[in-house]
Structure 1
Amino acid sequence: MRRSIFLYLFIFAALIALITYINGRNYQEVLEKDLISLRKKYIAQEQELDSIEDSQMLQPLSFTLEQHQEAADYFNKLGWTVEEVKQNVTDQLLELNLTEGGNPLVPFIGQGRGFQVNDTRFINHKWVLVNFSDNYQWGELLVTYTIKDDKTINLETTASVLNEKYR
């Protein structure tokens, strides 16, 4: 009798272990299928995002001096090339950085060394976007430049914005 009870207990434990193994295996297969489908969706989304980024990178900026034919014609009438104008305006903007207290085109008071022009982006034959900073704050200017008959360039601040660094 004792022997048959142990035999039944052993068979019962073996059946429980077999059922647990089969259920665990089925659960693992379902999880693997879900994981594979999620990976496929993720890869498809990444490819879609990459294609969107690539198409956006291939589109040229619409506001650049190099692609502005009317600006090139305007400069040619004055006896200048686009590159000469860009170089002269940029040089003049950077030269103004040497002024004590910072660049006078920046209508803000900077901390320490004053505001200095860092970067420029030419929009057309009259406007240039200027990035400036004093190591604590930064901002942008819209500078209007005009070329006079005596081949001098006049710079004037049209609009400005100042941002503070987040600490």
Structure 2
Amino acid sequence: MKKKIFNYLFIFVALLLVFQFVNSKRILDSYEGIIDKKEANFEKSITKYQDTISKLRDDVLRLSEFSVMNTEAALSYIEAEGYRVDELIPFVKDALYELNLVKGEEHPLIPYAALNGGKMMIDQIRILNHKWIIANFTDGKYWGEMFLTYSISEDKQLSFKVVESFLYPIN
């Protein structure tokens, strides 16, 4: 009788182990399938993000072409004149922005009067090289752009001259 109980117990344990093995194998295979899908999605995402990063790098390079900081000839000219680039560029920008604070209804450089009762003010500035600047201006509703030249006299006085400007029409 003891022998039969041990035989049944042995068969039961063997069946239980086989069931556990098959079930575990099926679970592992399904996890591997999920992991493979996640890896494939991850690879697609990596490729997509690498393409986006590459495009953004190209955009940055393209946009930095017309910048004083990326024009070696302009940097050399500024340094040859005895100025430090990291001090001159903020000095020029600050001087333009300070013109926004001039009292009165008209801006000293912007050749257009504000059309909505405010004051035209310089909004953004891009220094192209050692002589040229592009600036945006706005009164809050209307806006335009202008092309300026700048020079520094021997007595360290900064002067601006508007070469061309335009005001965008409202559609």
TM range (shorter): 0.5 to 0.7
SS of the aligned residue for 1:101 comes to: coil
In structure 2, distance between residues paired with 1:121 and 1:164 = 22
Give the letter for the 1:63 counterpart. Answer: F
Per the alignment, residue 72 of structure 1 pairs with 75
- Which residue number corresponds to residue 101 of structure 1? 105
The size of the alignment, in residue pairs, is: 124
- Please state whether the residue corresponding to 2:68 is helix, strand or coil: coil
Contact residue 72 and residue 81 of structure 1 kept, 8 A: no
The 5 Å alignment of 1:121-140 reads 121-140=126-145
d(CA) in 2 for partners of 1:49, 1:159: 39
- Give 2:114's aligned residue: 110
Q: Which has the higher helix share?
A: 2
- Residue 21 of structure 1 corresponds to which residue in structure 2? none
Conserved 8 A contact 1:109-1:115: yes
| Aligned position for 2:161 | 156
Instruction: Give the drift of 1:52.
Output: 6.4
Given the two structures, how large is their TM-score scaled by the length of structure 1?
0.64
Deviation (angstroms), 1:77 = 2.1
Normalised by the length of structure 2, the TM-score is 0.63
Q: Give structure 2 stretches of 5+ with no counterpart.
A: 1-43
2:152 is aligned with 1:147? yes
Pair 1:88 & 2:116 matched? no
- 2:125 equivalent in structure 1: 120
Specify the code of the residue in structure 1 equivalent to 2:131.
K
Is 2:73 the counterpart of 1:63?
no
Q: What is the percentage of aligned positions where both structures have the same residue? A: 29
> How big is the shift at 1:54?
3.5
Is residue 144–residue 157 contact of structure 1 (8 Å, CA) maintained in 2?
yes
What whole-Å deviation, never above 9, does each CA across 1:11-68 have from its counterpart, x for those lacking one? Answer: xxxxxxxxxxxxxxxxxxxxxxxxxxxxxxxx8xx94973763452352521110111
